[in-house]
Structure 1
């Protein structure tokens, strides 16, 4: 029974956050971006241009243009992702219709691009974090990623740069550039919402001063670490390799600690997903 209640709670939580994400995205579009002729990327961007040219409500285009991608996603990716995306797009289509009558907050295009991008990033980030998407182009990108060498992010970027370029012919090149600003801000905010400010980074350090560095990391960062046995391939000299997991906000401080002892140390940083209580910081007294 506990498992069923937990699953219902998770489903309800997902629904609430997708609705909230779609509402935020609708506000960003109707209150900040669209009144200032700034567009979003992907299918939403195409829908904005189509609505501007035909005077047909944006919500209709947003839903209709995504239908082929729902079918493609259902066949190629899976039911859960497609269902969440369908629900998110439906909420967005309703949301933009609700918020259309609201007057824009600012006529300053630069401010509209900044705050519209932030709010749009928050909305889309919440939807992605809860298993959905607002854009059919991401479904295409996921499918193409298995067939070509470009990453999902690169494919989406190519789509969006093309769409933003087309918008220059419709709204003017200055608006296209403002759209690019809003897109870049939204992209960064999405990254923060999805990964979190406390995103984990795995850091590997190769240095002859490993003992002093490890003691300093434990003392100044409060992080535990692991010493791995290693050997240089050129000289064959045995050494220890330090492996530590920190938040991305701690990476700069970690590099500073290492450089205090060894300017020539080799440091590699990569993103990781961490599970387990051992990752928690120890108190620094």
Structure 2
């Protein structure tokens, strides 16, 4: 990895970790709203003991960082450790700062946004801000549940605890903040202009392919397939589009063949090839 790429990754992790700290100390914590995972546990323990949140964030994440180093990799573990340290320092520095609002709804929304964007930036840079994800990855190998389901179960338990430590209202606002943060992580990682892969099976494949190329300015690839029931040779059109082009793509296909089979999937990353849009004259 070049020095420039390493510096870019470090700056991205610093920015993400500090945004996360802002979400906690400027919006959520002063209003008794918590997040899921290690962060939520740290907020609860800090409230009960009076010890700084930053200390709990660092200490509670360390065991999971060790597991991550052993099971996932050195680069991931070191990136996560760096991000967690910056986040812990950020919460310490921001703790004396007066919160921007005492309106619970505003604090929930803006706190959730800061948390989600912060986590998303750190993940894009190759790290993490919460050891819960590491636990979920390791436990998921031994249980018939996905990583997402395990994380959700853990976080529901943690967020529900806010009802007993703070109040039922705090628990409900915490769930809203968690949902907002969850969605913002997706937006930050995938981008607003998310890419989608499309597979189209139709006897009018040539007409559809030409129309997609001409009207969307996207290149198409024709793949050879075979019908599972009929045994007939089939042509499959493969194309990568943006989310904003999805409606137009469907209109083009329906216009050429209303009975065409269309499958659409989300793409998290694209490397190589020629994805840039061609100019349409």
Identify whether the pair has TM-score above 0.5, normalized to the shorter chain.
yes
Paired position in structure 2 for 1:25: 20
2: CA distance, partners of 1:101 / 1:251: 48
Paired position in structure 1 for 2:207: 212
Structure 1 residues 201, 43: CA separation in 2 closer, same or farther (over 3 Å shift)?
same
Q: Is the 8 A contact 1:197 1:249 kept in 2?
A: no
Paired position in structure 1 for 2:194: 199
User: In the comparison of the two structures, how many residue pairs are matched?
Assistant: 280
Paired position in structure 1 for 2:43: 48
Paired position in structure 2 for 1:137: 132
1:130-169 map, 5 Å: 130-169=125-164
SS in 2 for 1:201: strand
CA distances 1:58-111 after superposition (whole Å, capped 9, x unpaired): 111111111211222222222111111111111111111111111111222112
Shift of 1:126: 0.9
Consecutive unaligned residues of structure 1, counting only runs of 5 or more, are: 1-5
* TM-score, length basis structure 1: 0.92
Structure 1 residues 237, 67: CA separation in 2 closer, same or farther (over 3 Å shift)?
closer
CA distances 1:164-200 after superposition (whole Å, capped 9, x unpaired): 1111212222221211111111111111212223433
1:118-129 map, 5 Å: 118-129=113-124
SS in 1 for 2:2: helix
Please list every run of at least 4 consecutive aligned residues from structure 1 whose deviation after the TM superposition is greater than 6 angstroms. none
CA distances 1:209-262 after superposition (whole Å, capped 9, x unpaired): 323322221122111101223343334444422111112332232223222333
Consecutive unaligned residues of structure 2, counting only runs of 5 or more, are: none
1: CA distance, partners of 2:27 / 2:257: 49
2: CA distance, partners of 1:97 / 1:72: 26
Is 1:174 aligned to residue 169 of structure 2? yes
Structure 1 residues 177, 263: CA separation in 2 closer, same or farther (over 3 Å shift)?
farther
Structure 1 residues 217, 120: CA separation in 2 closer, same or farther (over 3 Å shift)?
same
SS in 1 for 2:274: helix
Paired position in structure 2 for 1:281: 277
1: CA distance, partners of 2:101 / 2:259: 51
Structure 1 residues 244, 120: CA separation in 2 closer, same or farther (over 3 Å shift)?
same
2: CA distance, partners of 1:270 / 1:216: 21
* TM-score, length basis structure 2: 0.93
Q: Is the 8 A contact 1:26 1:92 kept in 2?
A: yes
Structure 1 residues 154, 253: CA separation in 2 closer, same or farther (over 3 Å shift)?
farther
Shift of 1:207: 2.1
SS in 2 for 1:269: strand
Which residue among 181, 184, 187 is the counterpart of 1:189?
184
SS in 2 for 1:19: helix
Paired position in structure 2 for 1:39: 34
Between 111-120 and 211-220, report the one with greater CA deviation: 211-220
SS in 2 for 1:102: coil
Structure 1 residues 233, 12: CA separation in 2 closer, same or farther (over 3 Å shift)?
closer
